[in-house]
Amino acid sequence: MSSHKGSVVAQGNGTPASNRENDTVELAELGPLLEEKGKRTIANPTKTEDEQTCPVPQEEEEEVRVLTLPLQAHHAMEKMEEFVYKVWEGRWRVIPYDVLPDWLKDNDYLLHGHRPPMPSFRACFKSIFRIHTETGNIWTHLLGFVLFLFLGILTMLRPNMYFMAPLQEKVVFGMFFLGAVLCLSFSWLFHTVYCHSEKVSRTFSKLDYSGIALLIMGSFVPWLYYSFYCSPQPRLIYLSIVCVLGISAIIVAQWDRFATPKHRQTRAVPVSSDFPRLGGSSSLRPLLWGLQPAGIPLWPGRWLY
């Protein structure tokens, strides 16, 4: 019975036993793979959960927002300042003389229509197209500057056949046009930007008076050249005197002590006093001196001496 049962059991369980052995072998071989797969399957849900619940991207976004907020505020402030500046620059109004600061009170006879202090060269140059106390000064000197610049270039480009002594005469006329161009350019720039600030006003005021002296010096050159065309010695003497007086006027104009509106008349002394001693009524002396050898009577000019 026992042997029969064992056979029966062996016969009944033969196939399953072999299958079990095969299954155990396969499981043993596939064990590491299954474990790795299981780890992967176990790890993947955590990854997905971490990806779903990971706060790192949010922190980065918050950091980006925190960084961009000051930049946006800075740009907004710049745009606001630019807007306010443009509004102030385009809508300034003329003010009366009493409201002006001391460094802008140059002419107490003009009671209304003055520009306010404008610390911007752009605003100063835009004021050229507005009506105020300096509009006439700016445009008359600016148009004169353009005119004399054009005439000077035209004269220098003329052929030599139009001159008796081409080199000398071109130098003579060049000195005249150079003085006129410098004087007019300094003048219209001064009247344009003198309301910028006290420092700019004083600097261009010095250039303005220096330009006047240069114009007077340059205008005497052709006058003396043709008055003493045949007398080089007196011509040199008069030219030297003119140069000395002109340089002295420029030096006086550069002193800060005389750059204030208080000393406006003092600054005008070298221009209105020293030069007329040679120029003005006394400027006829070179002409009379030059005409004397020609036999022309000089009695009308005796009172000038």
Give the chain's length. Answer: 305
Mark out the alpha helices in the chain (DSSP H runs): 2-12, 14-53, 56-90, 121-126, 135-156, 166-193, 198-227, 232-253, 264-269, 275-278, 284-291
Q: Give 224-279 as a 3 state SS string.
A: HHHHCCCCHHHHHHHHHHHHHHHHHHHHHHCCHHHCCHHHHHHHHHHHHHHHHHHC
Q: Quick count: other Cβ atoms within 10 Å of Cβ 95?
A: 16
Report residue 124 as tokens: 């100063």
Helix axes 166-193, 135-156, angle to 10 degrees: 160
Report residue 21 as tokens: 């052995």
Q: Rounded CA gap, 118 and 88, in Å?
A: 10
**Surface-to-core class of residue 82, CB atoms within 10 Å of its CB (0-12 exposed, 13-18 middle, 19+ buried):** exposed
Is 74 annotated to bind a ligand? Reply is no
Q: Rounded CA gap, 299 and 305, in Å?
A: 11
- Residue set of the binding site for Zn(2+): 191
